[in-house]
Amino acid sequence: MRRFGYLIDRLISRSRTSRALLLAVSLGIPVSGSSATAALSSEDNAAATWLINLGQRYEYGVGAPQHLDRALELYCEAANLGHPQARFHLGWLYASGRLGAIDEIQAAAWLQAAQAAGHRQARVKLSQLNALDRPLPEPPHCLFTDAISERRLPPVNLATTDTSGPSMGMRTDSASTLNGIQVRELARADIHSLVQRLAPSYQLDPELVLALIQVESNFNPSAHSPKDARGLMQLIPATAQRFGVTDIWDPVQNMRGGMAYLRWLLDHFNGNRKLALAAYNAGEGAVQRHGGIPPYPETQAYVKRIIAQLEPAPSSPALGLPQNTTP
């Protein structure tokens, strides 16, 4: 059942695209396209981009009340216009558990639609779900939160299928394995490997995530702070719940929740890495109140430690080259 359709019908009508564009500009919502949307007409691309950005506001509760079903309907309308990113994001949502359950069938269906529309990362996600070029029992369609049920794709090969991740769905079986490694007994090298595979799903630099984990928990999946922050990325229960984590002590779920939060913070602070890191440590509210990195010694040292790990060490002058001795 459509819950926001009266507005969407007005926005995506071709005869009223200019009205949608004017409204987008007035709200400060970007409407520029990308190479992935080259197959769309300029009008459809503008309308779909507007719908996606408005959907993000409802999904994350930034600039609008948080309302996942409204976000879903907006994303679905953009996907039906043919927008690759909308299709990809729907696939991610149905697989991530963020909507209250994991539906791998609809996730795979939307990801296959995204791949058909030219989305570059869709193939990787489909491979993680063992759904690449795989026939599916139903086409992609929109399910609201009250209609989503837990559905998993049957394994292609029971001997080799990964049942714990890092697929896009969050697995909660404490006895599951990842390529033969018990997920609760991950060594540091395994965490590095997982981050390298997971971070691109959230459009994050793996080195940034690894630096954050180093400072947060020193790669200890059992870390538990006096402030009740838990696991590799030191999620507090409220943040874990906010980003769909059902088992905060599961290392894969913990990393997914932490990466989702970090991605949200980067978007919230317009890509400013230092502000996002400060907010990860002190909370986004503290950064907003102080108009920048809060004057807390812990937070300021935290940001400096992570940034220092990302900046290359100064190299010595090459041997034999004259050095500048000007004072």
Q: How many CB atoms lie within 10 A of CB 2?
A: 12
| CB distance 240 to 258 below 8 Å | no
Q: Which residues contact 251 (CB under 8 A, 6 or more apart)?
A: 183, 184, 186, 191, 194, 221, 231, 232
How buried is 309 (Cβ within 10 angstroms: 0-12 exposed, 13-18 middle, 19+ buried)? middle
| CB distance 106 to 140 below 8 Å | yes
Strands 181-182 and 177-178: antiparallel
Q: How many CB atoms lie within 10 A of CB 277?
A: 27
Q: Which of 59, 77, 104, 216 is catalytic?
A: 216
Q: Which residue has the tokens 């564009």?
A: 21
| CB distance 245 to 267 below 8 Å | no
| Alpha-carbon gap, residue 236 to 252, rounded angstroms | 16
- Residue 138 among the catalytic residues: no
If you write DSSP's letter for every residue of 252-314 in order, what string do you get? HHHHHHHHHHHHHHHHHTTT-HHHHHHHHHH-HHHHHHHTSS-S-HHHHHHHHHHHHHHSPPP
N-term to C-term CA, the chain:
73
Which residues are catalytic, by number?
216
